[in-house]
Amino acid sequence: MKCIKKTIACVLASIMILLCGCGAVNTDTKPTESKKSASETTVKASKTQRHKVIIDTDAGSDDAAALVLAATSEQLDILGVTVLYGNVPLEKAAKNALMTLELCDVEAPVYIGAKKPLKKELEEMISVHGKDGMGDQDLIHPKRSAEDGDAVDFILDTIKSDPGEVEIIAVGPLTNIALAVKKDPDTMKLCKRIWVMGTTGFGAGNATPVSEFNVYSDAEAYDTVLRAELPMTILGLDMCSIKEVMITKNEMTKLAQGNEKGVFMSKAFTKLFAFEQENGMDMMIPDPIAVACLIWPDIVLETKSCYGEACVGNDAAYGQIIMYQKGSVYEAMPKIGSYNLEVVTKIDTKLFMDSFMSVMTD
């Protein structure tokens, strides 16, 4: 009898050890180096709850590619699209967004927002996307028109109607978002997360050596949004200039031979691709990568928690974003707020490109 009891006790002890071992789960939800590398297939979207999103865009050709990914994703419920100045004048931006949504059979409303930055004068920068923002290929003939309402009011009303559930994908300057923060900061605190294509990340800029185009367009807007300490995931320019996620002549040929969306994008990319080739480079497509971080989370392999501060002085540093990394020690550390930014620092390049091309060619 004693032997039986001893045996039972040993079995129970073994079970407890196993249970304790199983309980030692890593609670860090950020992607790590241990994630699998790119498979030979594209990302398979899970049947989880759809993200309710507003897409805020200046509607150049790479914005259109981002809209295509968003509109064809089973992961997203596009509540509306808000447009602003940036790559092209405002009215053209609205038409570009409407035409792209129409291509994807999505009838989300489009609202017109900011016509200029918060404080600085509107600068006319090099139109690398063509005069119409879409390659000057006579692609833009939408059947619908933009809504009568204001983009900022739409953002606030939508968040207020479903607090804690609405996310924003921002792939242009942050002026519309900043205006919403200024108008109703309490409502903006109810935004679930903002997904941003902007800043240099931890690399170099393209508007200036230290500033990325979207930030440089309105650094005061970035300053306003960063000070609000809203939860944000940032895809910086450094992740978009990796050779493996740039469009080459080979990809352009595949797009031109692809499905309706691929053909549309190959034409829309005409001016941008030519500009990059003239400068000895393949073509960056930052905005689609930012959307991909949300719809295909396996693409994100690593992030760093940061607090961000925008440089808004009238000097060469205008538009630079200073990233204070959580866990790092700085000798002249200023008083900072919360580490509310998740800055993407490593992506699965093959998985992104395979999945992106699949949407455009399958």
Between 104 and 35, the higher pLDDT residue: 104
**44-53, 173-182, 193-202, 277-286: segment of lowest average pLDDT:** 44-53
Task: Calculate mean pLDDT across residues 165-172.
Answer: 98
Instruction: Determine how β-strand 232-235 pairs with β-strand 166-170.
Output: unpaired
In the chain, the domains with their CATH numbers are 51-361 (3.90.245.10)
Mean of the per-residue pLDDT values of the chain: 88
pLDDT in tens, 70-94: 999 999 999 999 999 987 889 999 9
**End-to-end CA separation in angstroms for the chain:** 69
322 exposure class (CB count in 10 Å sphere: 0-12, 13-18, 19+): middle
- The pTM (predicted TM-score) of the whole model is 0.86
Which pLDDT belongs to residue 43? 52
How far apart are the C-alpha atoms of 196 and 3, rounded to whole Å? 65
Rg, Å, the chain Cα set: 23
pLDDT in tens, 292-325: 999 999 999 999 999 999 999 999 999 999 999 9
Q: Is pLDDT above 50 for 276?
A: yes
pLDDT classification of 22: cutoffs 50, 70, 90: very low
How far apart are the C-alpha atoms of 287 and 303, rounded to whole Å? 18
* Angle ∠(280,283,287) on CA atoms, nearest 5: 150
Which pLDDT belongs to residue 108? 98
How far apart are the C-alpha atoms of 208 and 252, rounded to whole Å? 28
How far apart are the C-alpha atoms of 203 and 278, rounded to whole Å? 23
pLDDT in tens, 93-105: 999 999 999 999 9
CA 133 to chain centroid, in Å, comes to: 19
Residue 249 carries which side chain, given as an amino acid letter?
A: K
How far apart are the C-alpha atoms of 292 and 336, rounded to whole Å? 30
Task: Please state the φ and ψ torsions of residue 113, each to the nearest 5 degrees.
Answer: -120, -130
- Assess contact for 289 and 347: CB atoms under 8 A: yes
